[in-house]
Amino acid sequence: MGRLGERLAALRARGEKALIPFITAGDPDLGVTEALLLALADAGADAIEIGIPFSDPTADGPTIQRSSERALRGGVTLRRVLGMVKALRPRLDVPLILMGYTNSFLTMGERHFPEAAREAGVDGVITVDCPPEEEPAYFDALDACGVDAVLLVAPTTTDERLAMLAKRTRGFLYYVSLTGVTSARTTLPPHLEENLARIRKVASVPVCVGFGISTPEQATAIAKYADGVVVGSALVDRIGRAKSREEAVTEATTFVASLKAALR
């Protein structure tokens, strides 16, 4: 079991729910991303998703799309993000998960990218648009390198496929609670309790819920049924609206601390 699995197992053992914030690497620049990673860990993040900016992020709504555009204009690449993670790792013990698209990761090679991720100190990878059966050698290479391949399930996932994904995922199973793209929402997803109960019947790994969570109250409500919550758009929006680097870090840290307090 890697760092991600160990962290989630420890939280589960003491009845605490995981908070996994998402930020886009390089938004507004990698210097701010470095400061954010350190600050969010201190604010109580149990793991952090680092979005790899991509020109066509089909699963992401306008907020994260704009953050990717800002990062790409600044020249952020996957290799630069891996270099940042490697440099920060001695000062950062929170699990780090790269979230991105097939083109970003497999351009480096289905075997080379998992090796580079391991060397950088990456704990997990979410490849949004790559089902495990489509690139088995890639997922096998992640396993061989000890990098958790976190898989996604949705409300529309069939029972047969759910069983396969629950068995194949590593670290945790990511429940995409809404059909559509990422965005902050004011109401909880429909049929949440029912859908999570169905997932838990076949999944022994922790189940974390993302897409649409934007307040501590929503996080608390979802955590009644899940092992953790993933918060992206609401956090990225605060970073994007900040008037300075310092304000971006302060706003993000305050928000993440409020979310974690609600989950303890």
Contacts of 106 (CB under 8 A, 6+ apart): 113, 130, 135, 138
Cα 260–chain centre separation: 16
Residue found under tokens 């690449």: 77
Cβ 23 vs Cβ 252: under 8 Å:
yes
Q: Kindly list the domain boundaries of the chain, sorted by start residue.
A: 3-263
For the annotated catalytic residues, the residue numbers are 49, 60
Average pLDDT, consecutive stretches of 10 residues, N- to C-terminus, the chain (264 residues) = 93 94 96 97 98 80 87 95 98 97 93 97 96 94 98 94 97 82 56 92 94 88 93 93 95 97 90
Q: How far apart are the first and last CA of the chain?
A: 24
Residue found under tokens 């990878």: 125
pTM for the full model?
Answer: 0.94
Q: Are strands 18-24 and 151-153 parallel, antiparallel or unpaired?
A: unpaired
Task: From 146, 36, 35, 26, select the one nearest 81 (Cα to Cα).
Answer: 26
Query: Six-digit token pair at 101?
Result: 């698209």
Strands of 228-231's sheet in order across: 148-149, 124-127, 96-100, 48-51, 18-24, 228-231, 207-210, 173-176, 151-153
Cβ 78 vs Cβ 86: under 8 Å:
no
Residue found under tokens 């929170």: 94
> How many CB atoms within 10 Å of residue 227?
23
Q: What is the pLDDT of residue 59?
A: 65
Query: Six-digit token pair at 244?
Result: 């300075």
The kind and range of the H/E element at 221 are: helix 216-223
Would you list the DSSP string of 191-215? THHHHHHHHHTT--S-EEEESS--S
Q: What is the pLDDT of residue 264?
A: 82
Q: Is the dihedral of CA 29, 38, 252, 114 positive or negative?
A: positive
Question: What's the angle, vertex CA 231, arms to CA 2 and CA 133, rounded to 5?
Answer: 55
Contacts of 114 (CB under 8 A, 6+ apart): 125, 138, 141, 142, 144, 145, 147
Architecture, CATH, for domain 3-263: Alpha-Beta Barrel (3.20)
Cα separations (Å) of 93 from 141, 203, 246? 24, 27, 23
